[in-house]
């Protein structure tokens, strides 16, 4: 045990037992001999086994073999359940377990992707159903819009017809007003002429009375009895019931003058009212001219504004619906493209994983081929040189059971005769071994060239895989940036739509205010029409007063005729005045007829006003229907906004799925980085093993140069050649396997490999 500890000590006093436990048995023996030569310990004494150490190492190897056997049986059972009854090699346990884990993860990922695809298909079906409903609603809205347009056209035609009728009525009213004005002027002239004649007649009567008997009495005639003029009747007597005709006529004349003045004042008031009516008629003419100009220029009026706004709103809704359909189609196409791209990338990763597995299998096959080539070389040496058959057998046995053979050979060959015989045989074999060594070196050079070629291919494949991975990562980043830009564009478009909706809402509010102003204007017009009705009522009252005056005039005419018949001789001039008064009555009757015509015209105006009111009621009903349509359109707009919110939710879910896929890609990147780190660690371990082998070879060469006996030289040369072969094979296997397989290969013995 002390010798083992001394042998494990480094020249500078450090302990290398931990590093020696990691070495195989044949390399450990060469290291022990090298260290023992430095501390001057005999090799035979150094290689004596310690029973305690052998027991511990055997127990550890037994437990390791048991664990590997259990793992191997479990993995073989899993492969059998999966449908792979082929036997599993011992060295491929870790690789097959990792491949099974990767396959299970891939199957889980496939299930998740299938579930996501089913969910997305379900959402697609729901979206298509909603889109079909929206299309039907849009079709119904278009039909309603067409009906509304036809109704609006019919209303405009009716309104044009009503306006034409009103224009003709206004023209007729203007003619009638002009006729009334001319009749009024004639009536004024006749009234002035009659007043002048009446004043002249009054003057003449006064003169005649004054000339006839200025001092005498005025003849008085009784009103109860007629005047009796006969030849027998000599004197005329006066009774108590006598009436002065002059006073009566003067009173009547004064009454008539008062009535004429009253009629003149009435006429002046009627003229003022007529002027006001003419001004209103002029204003109405101006309004009609303005409306005609608007109709000729096709300027949108207040009545046309609701219909035009409804058409604009419906067109805007159609455009929004079409835009939403296009966006939905674009999102669906983008989703299918992303889905296909993810599927392609998943297939590409699976292909790359399979390619890596194939490369690993190729590397393993190349390593096993290297071992087979070594065995073939040994067999070739055995067949080509019969004298070296024993040496080849010994090399094979040394490759398999080097520690046992070395210990048995050193423990059994104790006799001097045997030693001499072995020395002679060894001297004879030495020359042959030199030749075989040269051949083996040539074969090793060829194997090194093959190994260099394999390494170059592996490097090229690794670089190619790295470039492919970088390209895939760059493509993923570019796709993510494109998707982000498209999402930003859609967010900006949604904001623009919201601003447009706000502007449309503001326009609707402005239209409501304009409708309120139009309503106030209509109320003002209705007030003016009410004033016209009041004026018409005043005209009716004046007509009634004129009728009353005519009746009074008729009564006065009757009384005057009676008076003139009674005093025919003395009141001839009064008869003329009566004729004049009768002419005035005729003029008054004409004026009455004109007033009747005016009343008929006022009635027609009232009928037109009633028709206009009915038109206003129809317009109010149309406005209410337009309000209902706007409310329905607002409800549909709210539905579209809810649909947009649902689309935004679907977009958020799509973003979450995209982020999840990006996270999975990042996980794949982390796995690739982890594999690259493990590969670098394996390279570092291989380089360390290579440098350790070089140091061991240098130490063995130094030992060979120091030791002169041929037995030690031959043993050192054998132990010098074998580690180089095993190191080359170990480098091949370690370069192709993963970190875990490299550690298991480094800890395993040559029999297991």
pLDDT in tens, 292-303: 777 666 555 555
- The C-alpha atoms of residue 467 and residue 691 are separated, in whole angstroms, by 32
Q: Check residues 591 and 747 and name the one with the higher pLDDT.
A: 591
- 454: Cα within 13 Å, side-chain hemisphere: 21
Position 20 scores a pLDDT of 45
Percent of the chain with pLDDT over 90: 0
Please give the full DSSP string across 102-148, using - where no structure is assigned.
HHHHHHHHHHHHHHHHHHHHHHHHHHHHHHHHHHHHHHHHHHHHHHH
- The C-alpha atoms of residue 601 and residue 595 are separated, in whole angstroms, by 10
What confidence category does residue 238 fall into, taking pLDDT thresholds of 50, 70 and 90? very low
Position 447 scores a pLDDT of 56
Position 140 scores a pLDDT of 83
Q: Which structure tokens are listed for 168?
A: 């003709």
| Least confident stretch, 189-198, 620-629, 705-714 | 705-714
For the chain, the C-alpha Rg in angstroms (whole number) is 67
Q: Check residues 611 and 222 and name the one with the higher pLDDT.
A: 611
**At residue 493, does pLDDT exceed 60?**
yes
**At residue 262, does pLDDT exceed 60?**
yes
CB 75, CB 87: distance < 8 Å: no
What confidence category does residue 616 fall into, taking pLDDT thresholds of 50, 70 and 90? confident
- The C-alpha atoms of residue 274 and residue 412 are separated, in whole angstroms, by 159
Position 4 scores a pLDDT of 37
**At residue 325, does pLDDT exceed 80?**
no
* Helix (H/G/I), strand (E/B), else coil: 385: coil
Residues in a beta bridge with 15: 9
Query: In whole angstroms, how far apart are CA 698 and each of 7, 23, 32, 723?
Result: 17, 17, 14, 12
Q: H helices of 10-92, where? A: 17-21, 25-38, 43-46, 51-82
**At residue 164, does pLDDT exceed 50?**
yes
**Averaged pLDDT for residues 599-612:** 69
Position 84 scores a pLDDT of 76
Q: Which residue has the tokens 């278009």?
A: 142
- The C-alpha atoms of residue 149 and residue 322 are separated, in whole angstroms, by 21
For the chain, the maximum distance between any two Cα atoms, rounded to a whole number of angstroms, is 230
Position 559 scores a pLDDT of 63
**Averaged pLDDT for residues 561-568:** 60
**At residue 91, does pLDDT exceed 60?**
yes
CB 596, CB 540: distance < 8 Å: no
Q: Check residues 35 and 610 and name the one with the higher pLDDT.
A: 610
**At residue 29, does pLDDT exceed 70?**
no
Which candidate, 20, 85, 285, places its Cα nearest to that of 173?
285
Percent of the chain with pLDDT over 70: 45
What confidence category does residue 443 fall into, taking pLDDT thresholds of 50, 70 and 90? low
What confidence category does residue 508 fall into, taking pLDDT thresholds of 50, 70 and 90? low
| Least confident stretch, 367-371, 613-617, 643-647, 654-658 | 367-371
- The C-alpha atoms of residue 96 and residue 68 are separated, in whole angstroms, by 13
Residues 6+ apart with CB under 8 A from 39: 6, 7, 9
- The C-alpha atoms of residue 221 and residue 243 are separated, in whole angstroms, by 6
* Helix (H/G/I), strand (E/B), else coil: 244: coil
Position 712 scores a pLDDT of 44
Position 602 scores a pLDDT of 66
**At residue 128, does pLDDT exceed 80?**
yes
Q: Check residues 314 and 236 and name the one with the higher pLDDT.
A: 314
Position 125 scores a pLDDT of 87
| β 242-243/221-222 pair status | antiparallel
**At residue 160, does pLDDT exceed 60?**
yes
Residues in a beta bridge with 242: 222
Position 322 scores a pLDDT of 79
**At residue 312, does pLDDT exceed 70?**
yes
- The C-alpha atoms of residue 274 and residue 532 are separated, in whole angstroms, by 11
- The C-alpha atoms of residue 696 and residue 653 are separated, in whole angstroms, by 63
**At residue 241, does pLDDT exceed 70?**
no
CB 98, CB 78: distance < 8 Å: no
Residues in a beta bridge with 221: 243
**Averaged pLDDT for residues 238-265:** 68
**Averaged pLDDT for residues 659-685:** 76
Position 393 scores a pLDDT of 63
Rounded to a whole number, what is the distance in angstroms from the first to the last CA of the chain?
29
- The C-alpha atoms of residue 81 and residue 623 are separated, in whole angstroms, by 79
What confidence category does residue 280 fall into, taking pLDDT thresholds of 50, 70 and 90? confident
Position 438 scores a pLDDT of 67
Q: Which structure tokens are listed for 128?
A: 């298509």
Position 43 scores a pLDDT of 44
**Averaged pLDDT for residues 374-385:** 62
**Averaged pLDDT for residues 377-394:** 58
């Amino acid at each position: 045990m002390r010798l083992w500890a001394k042998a494990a000590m480094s020249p500078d006093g450090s302990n290398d037992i931990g590093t020696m436990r990691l070495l195989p048995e044949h390399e450990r023996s060469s290291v022990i001999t090298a260290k023992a030569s430095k501390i001057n310990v005999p090799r035979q004494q150094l290689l004596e086994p310690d029973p305690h150490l052998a027991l511990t190492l055997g127990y550890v190897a037994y437990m390791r073999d048991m664990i590997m056997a259990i793992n191997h049986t479990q993995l073989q059972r899993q492969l059998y359940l999966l449908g792979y009854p082929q036997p599993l090699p011992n060295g491929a346990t870790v690789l097959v377990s990792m491949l099974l884990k990767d396959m299970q993860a891939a199957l889980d990922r496939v299930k998740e992707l299938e579930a996501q695809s089913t969910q997305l298909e379900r959402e697609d079906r729901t979206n298509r159903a909603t889109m079909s409903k929206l299309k039907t609603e849009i079709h119904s809205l278009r039909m309603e819009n067409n009906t509304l347009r036809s109704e609006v056209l019919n209303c405009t035609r009716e309104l044009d017809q009503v306006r034409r009728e009103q224009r003709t009525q206004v023209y007729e009213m203007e003619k009638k007003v002009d006729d009334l004005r001319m009749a009024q002027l004639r009536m004024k002239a006749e009234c002035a002429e009659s007043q002048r004649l009446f004043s002249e007649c009054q003057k003449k009567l006064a003169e005649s009375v004054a000339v006839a008997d200025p001092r005498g009495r005025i003849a008085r005639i009784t009103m109860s009895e007629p005047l009796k003029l006969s030849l027998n009747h000599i004197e005329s007597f006066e009774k108590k019931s006598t009436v002065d005709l002059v006073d009566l006529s003067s009173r009547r004349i004064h009454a008539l003058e008062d009535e004429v003045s009253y009629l003149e004042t009435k006429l002046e008031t009627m003229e003022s009212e007529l002027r006001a009516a003419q001004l209103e008629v002029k204003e109405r003419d101006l309004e009609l001219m303005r409306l005609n100009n608007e109709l000729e220029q096709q300027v949108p009026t207040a009545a046309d504004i609701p219909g035009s706004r409804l058409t604009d709103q419906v067109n805007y809704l159609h455009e929004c619906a079409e835009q939403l359909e296009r966006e939905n189609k674009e999102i669906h196409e983008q989703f299918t493209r992303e889905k296909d791209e993810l599927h392609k990338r998943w297939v590409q990763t699976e292909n790359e994983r399979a390619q890596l597995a194939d490369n690993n299998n190729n590397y393993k096959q190349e390593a096993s081929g290297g071992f087979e080539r070594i065995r073939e070389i040994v067999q070739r040496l055995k067949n080509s040189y019969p004298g070296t058959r024993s040496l080849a057998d010994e090399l094979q046995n040394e490759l398999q059971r080097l520690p046992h053979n070395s210990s048995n050979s050193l423990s059994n060959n104790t006799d001097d005769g045997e030693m001499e015989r072995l020395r002679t045989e060894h001297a004879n074999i030495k020359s042959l071994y030199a030749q075989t060594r040269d051949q083996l070196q040539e074969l090793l050079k060829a194997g090194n060239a093959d190994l260099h070629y394999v390494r170059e291919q592996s490097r090229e494949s690794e670089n190619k895989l790295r470039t492919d991975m970088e390209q895939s990562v760059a493509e993923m980043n570019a796709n993510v940036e494109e998707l982000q830009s498209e999402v930003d564009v859609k967010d900006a478009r949604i904001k623009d739509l919201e601003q447009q909706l706000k502007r449309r809402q503001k326009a609707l509010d402005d239209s409501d205010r304009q409708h309120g102003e139009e309503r106030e204007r209509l109320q003002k017009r209705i007030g003016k029409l009410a004033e016209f009705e009041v004026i018409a009522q005043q005209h009716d009252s004046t007509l009634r007063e004129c009728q009353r005056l005519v009746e009074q005039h008729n009564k006065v005419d009757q009384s005057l005729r009676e008076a003139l018949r009674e005093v025919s001789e003395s009141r001839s001039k009064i008869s003329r005045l009566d004729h004049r008064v009768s002419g005035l009555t005729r003029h008054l009757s004409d004026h009455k007829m004109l007033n009747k015509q005016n009343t008929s015209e006022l009635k027609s105006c009232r009928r037109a006003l009633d028709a206009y009111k009915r038109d206003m009621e129809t317009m109010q009903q149309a406005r209410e229907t337009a309000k209902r349509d706007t409310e329905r359109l607002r409800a549909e707009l709210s539905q579209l906004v809810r649909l947009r919110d649902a689309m935004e939710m679907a977009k958020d879910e799509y973003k979450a799925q995209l982020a999840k896929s990006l996270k999975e890609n990042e996980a794949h990147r982390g796995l690739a980085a982890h594999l690259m780190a493990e590969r670098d660690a394996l390279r570092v371990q291989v380089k360390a093993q290579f440098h350790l082998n070089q140091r061991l070879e240098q130490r063995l060469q130094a030992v060979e140069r120091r030791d002169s006996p041929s037995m030690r030289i031959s043993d050192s040369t054998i132990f010098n050649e074998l580690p180089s072969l095993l190191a080359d094979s170990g480098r091949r296997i370690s370069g192709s396997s993963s970190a875990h397989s490299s550690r298991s290969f480094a800890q395993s013995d040559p029999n297991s490999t």
